[in-house]
Amino acid sequence: MLYEPAQSVGSLLPSPEDGESLTVEKAIANLKTGDRGDRYYAAWWLGKFRVNGPEAIEELIAALEDEEDRTESGGYPLRRNAATALGKLGDKTAVPALIECLDCEDFYVREKAAQSLGMLGDISCVPKLMQLLEGGLASAMPIPGCPHLAQPYNGAIEALGKLGATEAIPLIEPFLAHPLELEQYGAARAMYQLTGEAQYGDRLVAALAGSQLQLRRAALSDLGAIGYLPAAEAIAETLAENSLKLISLKGLLEHHVKNKESERLSETAIHLMNLMDNLL
C-alpha cells in the first residue's frame, strides 16, 4: 500500500493549498526550535517536498527521539511524521535510528518506521522486522476496542516483501489466513514479491471482485506495486475510481518497461496503454 507515483518537478513546489509556505532553511529551523505545531508541520513538509540535504536528515533523525510532543494516550506525533519523512528522503543513514523506532511504545511510530525501512532498501533491518512477526497469527488477532493490532504486521510484511527477505517467508505465509482482509492482501503481496508465484498475485486479482470498495482500492494499490501483469484486465474492469485504476496500471506499465527504454515497445506495453487511455 506504499506505492506512490514518482513525483514530478511541478509537484515539488509548495502551493497555497498545502498551508503555510516554508523554505528549506525555515523548515529545518522550525523543526529544531519551533513550537510543537511548527515542528510537526516542518517534519511533514520536509518529506512532502523531498528535502534530503544532510541537515534535514540530521534534524529528522533527532526528532525520532522527541519527548515533548505527546498525545493524551502517550503517542508521539512528531516521531511519526519524522519516521514517514525519512522513508521518503531515501537516505540510508536514517536506518539505525528507524530500527530503534521499531521498539517504540507508540504503535504508529513502529508502523511508520517499518514502512520507511521498506522504502529505504537497506536489508540490515530484516531481523528486527522479522521479530515483529514473532508469535504468528495467535499474537496477531484483532484486539477488542483497539483500532490496531498488537504490531504493525502489514507494514512489517510489506517492508520484508520489498526488501526481498526470503528468509521471512515462513513467518509471512500464515498471514494469508489472517481474519482481516488487508492483512491477507499484504501477505499475498509480499509472498508474490518473494516467490514470484502467480497464486499470490491471483489472490489480489480475486480481491478486485470483492464487495467492499475500500478493499478493492487496497488490492488495486497492491497490484500496481508488484506490477502483476495478468491483473491488467481485472484492474481496468473493477468497480473503483478511474484515478486509482490508472495508478495501478501505471505500476504494471512501469514494472514492465523498466530497463527496456532502448527497446521497441512490446505488445504488452501497448495493451496496457490502451487500457489506460480508455480510463482517462
Partner 1 sequence: MNQTTLASELIKAVEQADSSDSLIDAVEALADARLESAAPTLIAVLSYNNPGAAVAAVEGLVQLGEVAVMPLLNLLDDYNYGGRAWAIRALAEIGDPRALETLLEAAETDFSMSVRRAAAKGLGNLLWSKIPAAQVRQTQARVGKTLLLTSQDPEWVVRYASVAGLQALANAVAIEQSDIYSLLKSHFQQMLAEEQDLAVRTRVRRAMQELGR
At its nearest, how many Å lie between partner 1 and the CB of residue 138? Answer: 39
Residues 6+ apart with CB under 8 A from 177: 137, 184
Number of neighbours of residue 231 by Cβ within 10 angstroms: 25
Nearest to 62 by CA among 84, 50, 79, 87: 79
Q: Quick one: which of 141, 177, 206, 265 contacts partner 1 (CB under 8 A)?
A: 265
Q: Interface with partner 1 includes 280 (CB under 8 A)?
A: yes
Q: Interface with partner 1 includes 48 (CB under 8 A)?
A: no
Dist CA 36 CA 23 (whole Å): 18
Residue span binding partner 1 (CB under 8 A) among the ranges 123-131, 167-175, 201-209, 255-263 = 255-263
Name the residue nearer to partner 1 (CB basis): 215 or 257.
Answer: 257
Name the residue nearer to partner 1 (CB basis): 11 or 124.
Answer: 11
Name the residue nearer to partner 1 (CB basis): 89 or 272.
Answer: 272
Contact string 2-41 vs partner 1 (x = CB under 8 A):
---xx-xxxx-x----------------------------
Q: Quick one: which of 130, 215, 229, 269 contacts partner 1 (CB under 8 A)?
A: 269
Dist CA 276 CA 27 (whole Å): 38
Q: What is the dihedral of CA 244, 250, 256, 260, to 10 degrees?
A: -170
Q: Quick one: which of 149, 270, 271, 275 contacts partner 1 (CB under 8 A)?
A: 270
Contact string 225-254 vs partner 1 (x = CB under 8 A):
--------------x-xxx--xx--x--xx
3-state helix, strand, coil in the chain (%, to 5): 65, 0, 35
Q: Interface with partner 1 includes 211 (CB under 8 A)?
A: no
Contact string 104-123 vs partner 1 (x = CB under 8 A):
--------------------
At its nearest, how many Å lie between partner 1 and the CB of residue 105? Answer: 39
Q: How many residues does the chain have?
A: 280
Q: What is the dihedral of CA 235, 224, 221, 130, to 10 degrees?
A: 140
Q: Interface with partner 1 includes 220 (CB under 8 A)?
A: no
CA-CA-CA-CA torsion sign (236, 218, 171, 125): positive
Nearest to 48 by CA among 104, 93, 83, 89: 89
Q: Interface with partner 1 includes 264 (CB under 8 A)?
A: yes
At its nearest, how many Å lie between partner 1 and the CB of residue 144? Answer: 31
Place of cell 527497446: 263
Name the residue nearer to partner 1 (CB basis): 13 or 143.
Answer: 13
At its nearest, how many Å lie between partner 1 and the CB of residue 122? Answer: 24
Residues 6+ apart with CB under 8 A from 138: none
Cα dist from 18 to 2, 14, 24, 151, 201, whole Å = 21, 7, 15, 32, 36
At its nearest, how many Å lie between partner 1 and the CB of residue 194? Answer: 24
Where do contacts with partner 1 occur on this chain (CB under 8 A)?
Answer: 5-6, 8-11, 13, 239, 241-243, 246-247, 250, 253-254, 257-258, 261, 264-265, 269-270, 273, 276-277, 280
